[in-house]
Amino acid sequence: MSDQVKRIGVLTSGGDAPGMNAAVRAVVRTAVGHGIECIGIRRGWSGLISNDFVRLNSSSVSHIINKGGTILYTARSEEFMDRKGREKAIGTCKLLGLDGIVAIGGDGTFRGALALSRQIAEGGQNLSVVGIPATIDNDISCSHYTIGFDTACNTAIECIDKLRDTMQSHERCSVVEVMGRHAGYLALYVGIAVGATAVLIPERELDFENDVVENIRRARLAGSTHYMVVTAEGAASAYEIAKRIKEEIGIDPRVTVLGHIQRGGSPSARDRETASRMGYEAVQVLMTGKGNRIVATRDGRIVDLDMEEALAMTKAFEMDRYDVLEALTNNDSFGYKR
């Protein structure tokens, strides 16, 4: 019950994602509304080791729902991966008198949370940890959606639309690399949205002749004089793809690596709303006395799942979206498709 939860910590860890601030705001305001004190842990798990914290209240999280990045900063911590590092973190939890922690981040953040909770349980202590999925890659297996994905997609789409204008004017081929080291959700979603000539994702083995060269040829036969190839960073290097296109077709492509621009910017309505609901739910979970949970979206609903079970889940990539891409891309003026 809430009378057993007096003080909680909130942190953001790993890669930043638009909407993290909205989640922090929701956690703080929900906690304060129930008489629970909230401590912001700065720089992720690293801050829990180095005792880097700040007291938060409703005023301190005002006017941050529209801001990208995270006011608590974020970092990756090699030391936290070691048992001795986590022991220091547990010491900080004792010092601050924390009854629970809300950790906002991706898969690495949650695995750190799970390791911490296991170590805490070994020591016979009582500290609950709840995770909120926030990553632009949308690759958390237990959650159908992660905070930041929609904004990152919109950012990439805006950039590519502008590139298309100049590519069309000069009748050129553009190869755009978006984030997604291990997952192609961002690349495929964006590729469909911009009407890309070809999209390369880690989940699908690259057949360069069929997936890139032939698509460009068919587009040319259909009358196009400009081509857009979108690749996830984990599928192929944009520079390597451009080099091969030049060698095999004779076109001289222009390369654009969007990079960290995809992480920034004011979060979209979907990311603000989802983050707010998840932050609210995380505090509700702590108040019930449950620990070691991950808040997730499942079929449009906000749910909480056992952390061990959630991290063991797998997420089947929706290859039907690739079928949509091919159906819309490979039609040509002769009335047939590959």
Given this model, what pLDDT does residue 7 score?
Answer: 96
Query: What pLDDT, on the 0 to 100 scale, is given for residue 3?
Result: 62
Asked if pLDDT for residue 1 goes beyond 70, the answer is: no
- Give the phi and the psi of residue 85 in degrees, each rounded to 5: -65, -40
The residues with which 40 forms a beta bridge, in sequence order, are 10, 54
Q: Is 151's pLDDT higher than 90?
A: yes
The model carries a pTM of 0.92
Confidence of residue 130 (pLDDT cuts 50, 70, 90): very high
252 and 163 co-located in one domain = yes
Paired tokens of 269: 């309505």
CA 315 to chain centre: 14
Cα(328)–Cα(146) distance, rounded to whole angstroms? 27
Q: Predicted confidence band at 226 (pLDDT cuts at 50, 70, 90)?
A: confident
Looking at the structure, tell me whether residues 122 and 206 fall in a common domain.
Answer: no
Min mean pLDDT across 36-40, 71-75, 266-270, 330-334 is at 330-334
CA distance 81 to 122: 17
In a domain, residue 331? The reply is: no
Least confident of 58-67, 148-157, 195-204, 307-316: 307-316
Structural domain for 254, as ranges: 151-263
The band of 337, judged by pLDDT with boundaries at 50, 70 and 90, is: very low
Interacting residues of 302 by C-beta distance below 8 A, sequence separation 6+: 277, 278, 281, 295, 296
- Tally of domains within the chain: 2
Query: In the predicted model, is pLDDT for residue 66 greater than 50?
Result: yes
Pick from 263, 293, 322: which residue ends a domain?
A: 263
Q: Are residues 120 and 54 in the same domain?
A: yes
Share of the chain above pLDDT 90, in %: 77
Q: To 10 degrees, what angle do helices 185-194 and 320-329 make?
A: 30
Do 181 and 89 fall into the same domain? no
Q: What is the pLDDT of residue 332?
A: 54
Calculate mean pLDDT across residues 51-76.
95
Average pLDDT of the residues in 19-37: 97
In order, the DSSP letters of 199-243 are EE-TTS---HIIIIIHHHHHHHHTT---EEEEEETTT--HHHHHH
Mean pLDDT is lowest, of 154-158, 188-192, 329-333, for: 329-333
The larger pLDDT score, comparing residue 268 to residue 76, is at 268
CA-nearest of 144, 128, 60, 165 to 306 is: 128
Q: Are 318 and 204 in contact (CB under 8 A)?
A: no
Is residue 251 domain-shared with residue 195, that is, in the same domain?
A: yes
The reply to whether 136 and 187 lie within a common domain is: no
Across the chain, mean pLDDT equals: 91
Give me the catalytic one of 16, 52, 99, 137: 137
Q: What is the CATH number of the domain that holds 188?
A: 3.40.50.460
**pLDDT confidence of residue 338:** 36
- Which structure tokens are listed for 42? 């700065």
pLDDT digits (tens, 9 = 90+) for 162-187: 998 887 777 789 999 999 988 999 99
334 pLDDT more than 50:
no
Is 252 catalytic? The answer is no
Per-residue pLDDT, 319: 84
Residue 333 binned pLDDT confidence (cut-offs 50, 70, 90): very low
Where does a domain end: 227, 245, 263?
263
